[in-house]
Amino acid sequence: MNLIITYKNALFDAGSQRQAVATSKNHMIPTQPVTEDLLSGYLLDCKTRGMQSHTCETYTSNLKYFLKYLSEHHHESNPTKITEDILKAFLVHIRDEKRYSKSTINGYFACIFGFHEFLLYRKIITHNPVAPFRKRYMSLLKYRKGDTKEGCSRQFISIEDMARLIKAAEKKRHIVMPYRDACINIMLAKTGIRRTEAINLDITDVDLEKKQLTIKPHPKRQNCLAFFDDEVKHYLELYLPHRHPDKPALFQTRFGYRLDRTHFLQAITFPAKSIGLHNPNGKLNQKFTPHNHRHWYTSVLRGATPPVDAVHIKWLRGDVLSEAWNIYDHIDPGKIRKEYDRAMPRLF
C-alpha cells in the first residue's frame, strides 16, 4: 500500500514539474533581446520627451553599466527584476568602491528611476522600486570623507587669473587652430553661455558689428540673445580667418568639423591646468570647467558697482523668468546692453 502511494506521489510530482516547466517556458522572457529592445525604447522615449542628446548618451551609458553590474554581481540580466537589495548593493558599489561623486551617483539613480518609469508607463512592471529607494537613501548622500563645504563649491577666479587663462589658451595655437581656444574661453567668460550653446553656434549666429550672438533654442534658455564686448570681438577677428569658411560651425576642428563636447572641454581644462587652475583629480573647487565661466560671468555682474539688476542678469544668462509678473514686464535689450557694457570688466 505504501509503495502504491509513493508511486502515485512520484507521478504527481513529475507531472507538476512538467507543468511548471511548460508554464515557465510559456512566460519566459528571452532577456538579452528584450533588454536591448527596452534600451532602444527608453532612448527613443528620452529623445521624444525633448532631452538633450548628451543627456540621452549619458543615460544610455549609465544604464548599460548598471545592467552589466547586475549580470556580473547578481547574475541577473532581466532589468525588470530589480530589488531594493540590488539597489543598495549598487549604491555601495559606486559610492564606496568606485568613489563616484555625489552628483554622479544622483545621475545614475535618476537614470535608473527614469528607466523604471518608462517600464511602468509601458505596463511591463506594476510599480517603480527606485522611487521609495531614492526618497530614503539619496537625501542621505554625503560628500566623501575629507571633503569640506569649501571643497564642494565651484572655484571662482579673479579678473587677473581670467586674463592669465586666456593668454594660456592663446599659447596653444601651435597645437590647434590659432586663437580658437582663447576665443572659446573669453567668449564663455563674457557671455555666460553654456557649453552646448557654444558648440552649436554657427558663423551666421555671430554679429561682429552689433557685438552679439544669436543662441539656438535650448530647453534651459528663454532669451536667445547674448552680448559681448570689444575684447571678445578682438579674439573673434583673430580666430575667424583660420576656420574653414565653407563649413557652418563657429568652433571647428582643424578639419572643419564642429567641436564635440570632449574637445571643447579640453580647450578650457588644458590651459587652466597649465597655470594651476585645474586639477582633474581634485575636489570641485580645484577644477575649472566650462560652467566655471558661467559662474564667473554671473559673479562679476553681481559684483559691479552698482550691481546689475537681478532680473537683467537672469535675462543675460538666458534663465527662464519664472515669476508670473515678469510675463508683463517688457525688458528693453538696449537698456540691458548699457548695463552689460558698464559692468563687464576689461581683462587686458
pLDDT in tens, 203-244: 999 999 999 999 998 888 889 999 999 999 999 999 999 999
144: pLDDT confidence band, cut at 50, 70 and 90?
low
pLDDT at 169: 95
Q: How many CB atoms lie within 10 A of CB 307?
A: 13
pLDDT at 51: 86
pLDDT at 25: 37
Q: Is the pLDDT of residue 173 over 70?
A: no
Average pLDDT, the chain: 85
Q: How many CB atoms lie within 10 A of CB 317?
A: 20
pLDDT at 207: 98
200: pLDDT confidence band, cut at 50, 70 and 90?
very high
pLDDT at 53: 83
Closest CA relative to residue 268, chosen from 174, 185, 338: 185
Span 88-107, mean pLDDT?
90
pLDDT at 262: 92
Cβ proximity of 220 and 320 under 8 Å: yes
Q: Which domains does the chain have, with CATH numbers?
A: 31-144 (1.10.150.130), 159-343 (1.10.443.10)
Closest CA relative to residue 180, chosen from 156, 209, 201, 211: 201
C-alpha–C-alpha distance, residues 94 and 249, integer Å:
38
Percent pLDDT > 90 in the chain is 64
pLDDT at 282: 87
Cβ proximity of 325 and 141 under 8 Å: no
Q: Which residues pair with 206 in a beta bridge?
A: 213
pLDDT at 37: 87
Q: Poorest-confidence range of 8-17, 124-133, 161-170, 311-320? A: 8-17
**More confidently predicted of 105 and 4:** 105
pLDDT at 235: 97
The pTM (predicted TM-score) of the whole model is 0.72
pLDDT at 189: 98
pLDDT at 326: 56
C-alpha–C-alpha distance, residues 35 and 16, integer Å:
30
Q: Is the pLDDT of residue 140 over 60?
A: yes
Alpha-carbon distances, residue 177 vs 166, 256, 265 (angstroms): 15, 10, 15
Residue 304, exposed/middle/buried by CB under 10 A (0-12, 13-18, 19+)? Answer: middle
Q: Is the pLDDT of residue 287 over 60?
A: yes
Q: Poorest-confidence range of 2-11, 31-40, 82-91? A: 2-11
Q: Which residues pair with 214 in a beta bridge?
A: 225
pLDDT at 122: 92
Q: Is the pLDDT of residue 151 over 90?
A: no
Map grid coordinates 572659446 to a residue.
184
Q: Is the pLDDT of residue 271 over 70?
A: yes
